[in-house]
């Protein structure tokens, strides 16, 4: 891999917005796959998204699964405060909607929507939430501002966003019934943190269109598979684990 999105953004690669679509689409594909498996990532942020570039084509991969858990077992408060959903801070029910929130905030930070990076040290949670809601009305992201609805039940799923923005391209198919997904959550022991950190979702496709949230200029065919990242530290910013209670 060539690095992570945090460094890529700091280097100014997203100034022209052309990388917004491959980043958003590939992360939605990753979250859709996790949702089908009944898994929550719980620490989605720019430092945990890796990339590889080949010319003008970028492949983004969601990494660092150290805080992931099955949706029906996740209870502990873990993650990085600036990117975590309000229900996680309030110890509410954890669902796939919390990763949707984190992805939107990741897009705000990466694209520096509304000078979002200047508000990285809020004096309170309320101030931080207000900044997110203000930036969510920016024209570049307003069409997907429901990703940060305060009510998690009103946030769209990754699948719904893929359908809305990309005509459903890249969805995980076939989709199992909800009963099957629940049963998966009960099967087998939770993977060790070391094993989880090595996992990464590999979602790739070519993109050459402008920044538009009504669909890319070209309709590429995604390539989806699962790889193992071995012997590599992924995160450059250490996430915060707020308690040591059961996960």
How far is it, in rounded angstroms, from Cα 175 to Cα 171? 9
Catalytic residue among 2, 16, 35, 43: 43
Task: Give the residue, 173 or 45, on which the prediction is more confident.
Answer: 45
Angle at 21 between CA 236 and CA 13, to 5 degrees: 50
* Res. 113 pLDDT band, cuts 50 70 90: very high
* Res. 182 pLDDT band, cuts 50 70 90: low
DSSP 213: T
pLDDT of 235 > 80? The answer is no
Mean of the per-residue pLDDT values for the chain? Answer: 79
DSSP 151: S
pLDDT digits (tens, 9 = 90+) for 10-43: 999 998 888 899 999 999 999 999 999 999 999 9
pLDDT digits (tens, 9 = 90+) for 183-226: 554 444 444 444 444 444 443 333 333 344 443 333 333 333 33
Q: Which tokens hold the place of 243?
A: 């308690």
How far is it, in rounded angstroms, from Cα 159 to Cα 168? 7
* Res. 178 pLDDT band, cuts 50 70 90: low
pLDDT digits (tens, 9 = 90+) for 43-88: 999 999 999 999 889 999 999 999 999 999 999 999 999 999 999 8
Domains of the chain: 3-241 (1.10.510.10)
Report helix, strand or coil for 196. Answer: helix
First to last CA, the chain: 30
* Res. 179 pLDDT band, cuts 50 70 90: low
Query: Which of 221-225, 228-232, 241-245 has the highest mean predicted lDDT (pLDDT)?
Result: 241-245
Sign of CA dihedral 148, 150, 154, 157: positive
Residue 2 appears among annotated catalytic residues? no
């Amino acid at each position: 891999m060539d690095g992570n999105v945090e460094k890529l953004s700091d280097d100014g690669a997203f100034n022209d917005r052309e990388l917004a679509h491959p980043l958003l689409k590939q992360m939605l594909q990753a979250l859709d796959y996790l949702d089908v498996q009944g898994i929550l990532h719980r620490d989605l942020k720019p430092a945990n998204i890796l990339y590889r570039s080949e010319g003008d084509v970028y492949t983004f991969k969601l990494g660092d699964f150290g805080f992931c858990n099955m949706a029906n077992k996740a209870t502990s408060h873990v993650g990085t405060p600036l990117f975590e959903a309000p229900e996680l801070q309030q110890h509410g029910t954890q669902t796939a909607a919390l990763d949707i929130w984190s992805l939107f905030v990741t897009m705000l930070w990466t694209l520096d929507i509304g000078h979002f990076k200047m508000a990285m040290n809020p004096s309170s949670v309320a101030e931080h939430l207000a900044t997110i809601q203000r930036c969510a009305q920016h024209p570049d992201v307003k069409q997907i501002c429901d990703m940060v609805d305060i009510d998690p039940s009103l946030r769209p799923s990754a699948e719904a966003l893929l359908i809305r923005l990309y005509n459903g391209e890249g969805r995980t198919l076939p989709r199992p019934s909800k009963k099957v997904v629940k049963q998966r959550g009960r099967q087998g022991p939770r993977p060790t943190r070391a094993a989880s950190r090595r996992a990464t979702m590999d979602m790739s496709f070519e993109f050459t269109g402008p920044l538009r949230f009504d669909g890319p200029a070209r309709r590429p065919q995604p390539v989806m598979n699962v790889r193992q990242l071995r012997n590599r530290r992924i995160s450059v910013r250490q996430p915060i684990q707020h308690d040591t209670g059961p996960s």
